[in-house]
Structure 1
Amino acid sequence: MRSYAAGFVARVTVLSRLPLDYSVASLRIVDLLSTYVGEVLVRRAGAEWVDFDAGQRAYFGRPVGVRMPDGRVWNPLGKVRNRFELGGPGSRDFELGLEGDPGDILEVTGEGFVAGWERRLVAAGVRGRGLRDDYSLAGRVFARRILAHYAVVRLLVAPALQPHLIAAYAFLARTDDLADQGPLHERLPRWRAWAEQVASGLDSGRAQDPVLRAFLHTVSVRRLPHHWVHTYLKATDEELHFTGHATEADFQRYVDNLALPALMLIEDLQHEGGGDAVFRSRCRSFAEGLQRLDFLADLTEDLGEGRLYLPQEDLDRFGVTRAALEAGQDSAAVGELVAFTCRRTRQALTDSTALLDSTAPSFQPLQRALLELAEHQLSRVEHAGASVTRRTVGYGIRKPLSVLLRERRIIRVGAS
């Protein structure tokens, strides 16, 4: 087994240049790979992310895991344990967590483990046990929805900003779920009740939902402009009855009314009170690029759900029908449509690289990672060509891990 492990380390290190050097720090990679295993089970094996109960938390040493279709629960995040000599005959178990500082090793004791999350809540100005519980729940909501992205925020964003980003991401996830899940006649009343609660909360600062309470506190502390929230809610309401974009102008309005406000709920948190006009303009380019990229990468998934976001005038330009896309046709016309959309996407992402010049130092590692990964995913879409009508196109795993580790090294060098 040890020789097998050594061979694995040699192959992976050569192929992806990941520092699997048997150091404590290298275990972070294993932890991230474990989260990927869990997400594969969810997407391909019918599992679902669940919160563990008290007994399961004590047994697995983690707050979340997956439940398989047969009812069994499993911990794909798997405790990574080892023994270290601590200056004498004694030893101590440790478990590695997805924390933001190099020294964030979660010590496992008979009473459980002590995480760095509390320190981040203090740094972010989150006071009071009840409010901290709200933020912790928001973190679980975000982690269940996009675990890899949650890990990136925890690893790359300055501690004082992490809880606020997590609260905003959780709010977006909760809003998106309420707007998307279930038949329309069931969604509408849930959605309208949520939208009313959000609007009322922005005025009063109070809410019944704990995720919303955390977000409202973040809005107040970071002085996030309310108009982004209102615009986002209004556009999401209209999205419930979405029938498609007829023209490029329709798509541009979609970016202005939905994609940009959603992005600004994250981006504007780095600048207390919101960024300036130049910053917003650069964010707008990024929002357009991300939205076009999403339309291509998730084309087959969207079509399966009865939605097509590519403008109809673009399909007409190349003589492509919706039926051809739904059938997964690998024709020259479909390839030209994809290539045309990729060129527009590339231009928007290129324009958005100037966003780094307007990014706060505490947000720079995450911003660089997001920009680079978007370019990487677009390259994969370009390579896929017309096959995007038959399969979704993700990031893969090697590139995200290499970007993540590079940014972690930059953070460590800056802190030394």
Structure 2
Amino acid sequence: MTRQELDAAEIRDPLLREAYALCETLLQEENHASHTWMRDQLPPDRRPYWDAMIAFCGHADDLVDAHNVPLTERLRRYDAFTQDFFRMLHATRQASPATVLGPLPGTPGRRSAGDGVRLVSLAFCDFVHTWRLCETGVRQAGQALRTDITTEAYDTAHALEEYMLGVSGEPARWLAVLLAPRGQDLAEGAESAAISWGFGLQTLDFLLDIEEDLRLGKLYVPLDDLRRCGLERAELESTVAARQTSQPLRDLVGCQLVRVRRYFTAAEGWLDQARPAGWEAIRDSLTEGWSTVDRLTRCDHDVFALTAAST
């Protein structure tokens, strides 16, 4: 992160500058391609806030997906992380970052892992305050992740959408805030469009990652859809493990693509009508998403053919 980006974002406090810089450093180390692409599309004064959002959500997701850690310990670690964050969120409304965090051993770039996590939380707290994000939405995102620790599948599309509202809908809403003129409310329809965009991308990711998710004991396709397509979960698991598609699996993929098209169409319809300035990155992302839908359609809904071609 450059000094110019921090200056442009009007981030002056030394500890906050360290916290935001750490967020970007962590993301660079993870080689997060989609993060880098979106970051490059944002104006310099928005980039530090994007880094804080992705780094914070990424750490929360890592706690949830630490599958080498017993479930009870994952829940304990996640709860400790979120409780410390919300304590910090409330404290930083009135006190300086240095007062809230207290003395940190070491120097910038040489903090302990635990202090590094708290610095990431500090940066996200500042993002929430600066851009006036709704605390209820932040809590909803956190609760959705916590629920996912103990949830192996979702019975209905509605239940899956409730989960997605936390893990992709809320972050999409935060991005919409970043894309809006600073200090102004979102334009009418912007929030819904951003959430539809996030739902579409998330649903595509569920399809492309189905093999990895099932290995981890997770299924992000509504069980209702499995039954509708004549599939049992055990049959789906064996088919996916063998990477050999079947007609019921093709039908299942097609059913999810119907939803993706609906989500993308809703987002695109608002973009075409409102023509908001600064949303070029979302439109480009939609174009790429539609391209993935088209490729899945052309290969007759064979998700393995698509993922093999991309590796």
Q: What TM-score range do you get, normalising by the shorter chain?
A: 0.7 to 0.9
Tell me the residue number matched to 1:407.
none
Q: How does 1:130-169 map to 2 (within 5 A)?
A: 130-169=15-54
Tell me the residue number matched to 1:124.
9
Cα contact 1:124–1:163 (8 A) shared by 2: yes
Tell me the residue number matched to 1:347.
262
Q: CA deviation at 1:369?
A: 2.2
Count of residues in Structure 1 that have an aligned counterpart in Structure 2 = 280
Higher helix share: 2
Cα contact 2:207–2:253 (8 A) shared by 1: yes
User: Alignment partner for residue 275 of structure 1, among 186, 206, 212?
Assistant: 186
Alpha-carbon distance change, 352 to 202 in structure 1, aligned in 2, over 3 angstroms:
same
SS of the residue 1:127 aligns to:
coil
Cα contact 1:293–1:345 (8 A) shared by 2: yes
Q: Take 1:231 and 1:136, find their aligned partners in 2: how far apart are those partners? A: 27
Alpha-carbon distance change, 133 to 360 in structure 1, aligned in 2, over 3 angstroms:
farther
Tell me the residue number matched to 1:11.
none
1:217 aligns with 2:87: no
Larger radius of gyration: 1
Q: CA deviation at 1:142?
A: 2.2
Cα contact 1:243–1:307 (8 A) shared by 2: yes
Cα contact 2:85–2:121 (8 A) shared by 1: yes
Tell me the residue number matched to 1:192.
79
Q: CA deviation at 1:339?
A: 1.4
Gaps of 5+ in 2: 93-99, 102-114
Cα contact 1:373–1:395 (8 A) shared by 2: no
TM-score by length of 2: 0.81
Tell me the residue number matched to 1:9.
none
Q: CA deviation at 1:348?
A: 1.3
Cα contact 1:289–1:345 (8 A) shared by 2: yes
Tell me the residue number matched to 2:89.
202
Q: Take 1:261 and 1:119, find their aligned partners in 2: how far apart are those partners? A: 28
Tell me the residue number matched to 1:370.
285
Alpha-carbon distance change, 141 to 382 in structure 1, aligned in 2, over 3 angstroms:
farther
SS of the residue 1:327 aligns to:
helix
Tell me the residue number matched to 1:414.
none
Tell me the residue number matched to 1:23.
none
Q: CA deviation at 1:304?
A: 1.1
Calculate the aligned-residue CA RMSD, in Å: 2.5
Q: In structure 1, what residue type is equivalent to 2:236?
A: L
TM-score by length of 1: 0.62
Q: CA deviation at 1:358?
A: 5.3
Q: Take 2:289 and 2:82, find their aligned partners in 1: how far apart are those partners? A: 30
Question: Which structure ranks higher in relative contact order (CA pairs < 8 Å, sequence separation ≥ 6)?
Answer: 2
Cα contact 1:283–1:355 (8 A) shared by 2: no
Q: CA deviation at 1:307?
A: 0.7
Q: In structure 2, what residue type is equivalent to 1:307?
A: K
Tell me the residue number matched to 2:58.
173
Q: How does 1:217-366 map to 2 (within 5 A)?
A: 217-271=126-180, 272=183, 275-328=186-239, 329-356=244-271, 361=277, 363-366=278-281
Q: CA deviation at 1:128?
A: 3.1
Cα contact 1:270–1:360 (8 A) shared by 2: no
Q: How does 1:42-57 map to 2 (within 5 A)?
A: none
SS of the residue 2:279 aligns to:
helix
Q: Take 1:175 and 1:214, find their aligned partners in 2: how far apart are those partners? A: 14
Cα contact 2:176–2:190 (8 A) shared by 1: no
Q: In structure 2, what residue type is equivalent to 1:283?
A: A
Q: Take 2:305 and 2:209, find their aligned partners in 1: how far apart are those partners? A: 8
